[in-house]
Amino acid sequence: MRAWLTVPPTLIPTPASAPVAAPGSPDLRRRCAGWMSLMHTTPLTHTAGAWALACITFGFTPASASIDASWSGPGLDRWMYPFNPTPGTRITASTFGATNEPDFDDRDGQMVVGWRTDDQVPTGAGAAQYQVHAARVIVEIAANETFVYDDSPDTWQNFVPEDDPDYQEDGTPGQPIELFGVGYRFGFTKFSWQETTPYTFGDPIGEERRTAYALGFDSGGMPVDVSNSVRDRWNPQAWAVGMITGIRPGDLVPSGSLVEFTLDVAHPGVQSYLREALDAGILNLAITSLTKVQQFGGLFPVYFCREHPDVAFGFATAARLELRVSIGSPCPADLDGSGGVDFADLLIVLGDSGPCAGCPSDLDGSGTVDFADVLSLLAAWGPCP
């Protein structure tokens, strides 16, 4: 360790010589921020280093910035259904099931919604640099009282034939509306798939034929098509279940009702999917339900698409998206891999001070470990997210 970075214990401020302010108080934060701003342009001395340590000890941690972004409408919305004659231009979309119907996916009617996020969230930082703290999607119901509200997940046993030994009666009326990610077939990706892309190539009748499908995760965390979860006898975990304020489960849902999906951003797979989407600037999601209907008939949820005249004239809304995001590696300053940024990591930075290209302790990538890296470490102080 270089002598100029050594901080003798006698120079570490005691409570008597430290800032006269309560730990964590705005006054202490203001004073420490001033010290750190000054030290950012001044060679680090014993006293300056001691004050930096004191600011950590007495509660100063620079706040991390986050981006609150929202989109009032989607960049694309598409009813993914084998018999949709107007792909990408239909004014409404609906979701429903076709369980126990040969040649149809269990989640037969799906709705894909997508947004270009690069107008509000910078792209290209690398997926690992994004942290999604909250994500919400809101869609508006376009048809009046065509389905029953259900806010609880169902199991595959609720949908097999009643004479099946595994059949279980659903204890609640209706079926929930669920949100997932989007996967692609036939070589399509989030970049190449458009709302006017064909449903499939060749005969639309058949299972697992759609170019874009509802994507979830299996028990091992691997991404899979969840469209036929009843056929495959498993229960995919929805990324969000649609909630409607002011309506009780079992009630018919009036037109104009807002269905809110709060995504499970704590799920590692969901978080990874969202991070990759933000890095690319394109986020697509799939809305589904296993609403029980009869072929070519029945009652089911219907949603406004952006092409609807009511949306164009402001009388209704298409799918909306709200995000809270921060950009930057969740914990690059956790140099010892302890799960938090603390004095052990600070000692590593101090020990590497000077030219050190490629060192993990060169947190700002300048090629030199200096006080700028100490400031970066202080900003990340505490448990890793």
Domain ranges of the chain: 3-63+345-383, 67-327
The tokens describing 303, both together, are 């949603």
| Predicted local distance difference test score (pLDDT) of residue 293 | 84
Q: What is the pLDDT of residue 1?
A: 39
Q: What pLDDT, on the 0 to 100 scale, is given for residue 21?
A: 42
**What's residue 26's pLDDT?**
47
Q: Which two tokens stand for residue 61?
A: 């941690």
Report the pLDDT value the prediction gives residue 363, as an integer from 0 to 100. Answer: 83
For the residues of 169-206, what is the DSSP string, one character each?
--SSSS--EEEEEEEE-TT--TTT--TTS-S-SS---S
Distance CA 262, CA 268 (A): 15
Place of tokens 């009617």: 109
Q: Cβ distance 228 to 98 under 8 Å?
A: no
State the pLDDT at residue 22: 44
CB neighbour class for 326 (10 Å; exposed up to 12, middle 13-18, buried from 19)? middle
- Torsion, Cα 289 295 301 307, to 10 degrees, reads 110
Cα separation of 296 and 136, whole Å?
Answer: 32
Q: Given this model, what pLDDT does residue 255 score?
A: 97
* Rg value, the chain, Cα: 27
- State the pTM of this model: 0.73
pLDDT at 223: 96
Each residue's pLDDT tens digit in the chain (385 positions)? 343 343 334 433 443 443 344 444 445 444 554 544 444 444 444 444 554 555 544 444 444 468 999 999 999 999 999 999 888 899 999 999 999 998 999 999 999 999 999 999 999 988 878 889 999 999 999 999 999 999 999 999 999 999 999 999 999 999 999 999 999 999 999 999 999 999 999 999 999 999 999 999 999 899 999 999 999 999 999 999 999 999 999 999 999 999 999 999 999 999 999 999 999 999 999 999 999 986 655 789 999 999 999 999 999 999 999 999 998 766 778 887 677 899 999 999 999 899 887 677 888 878 889 998 899 889 888 887 6
What pLDDT, on the 0 to 100 scale, is given for residue 52?
A: 52
Residues forming beta bridges with residue 368, ordered by sequence position: 355
**Alpha-helix runs per DSSP H in the chain:** 26-39, 46-57, 268-280, 309-312, 343-351, 371-379
pLDDT for residue 142: 98
Phi, psi of 226 (to 5 degrees): -100, 10
The pLDDT assigned to 358 comes to 67
Q: What is the DSSP letter of 44?
A: -
Residue 127's pLDDT is 87
Q: Which contacts qualify for 293-298: CB closer than 8 Å, 24 or more apart?
A: 293/96, 293/97, 293/98, 295/98, 295/101, 298/96
The vertex-359 CA angle with 356 and 365, nearest 5°, equals 80
Of 54, 59, 52, the C-alpha closest to 27 is 59
Q: Among 93, 114, 71, 96, which residue's Cα sits nearest to residue 212?
A: 114
Query: From its phi and psi, is residue 276 left (phi > 0), alpha (psi between -120 and 50) or beta?
Result: alpha
Burial of 183 per CB tally in 10 Å (0-12, 13-18, 19+): buried
Please give the Cα distance from 159 to 188 (Å, whole number): 31
State the SS3 of 106-174.
CEEEEEEEEEECCCCCCCCCCHHHEEEEEEEEEEEECCCCCCECCCCCCCHHHCCCCCCCCCCCCCCCC
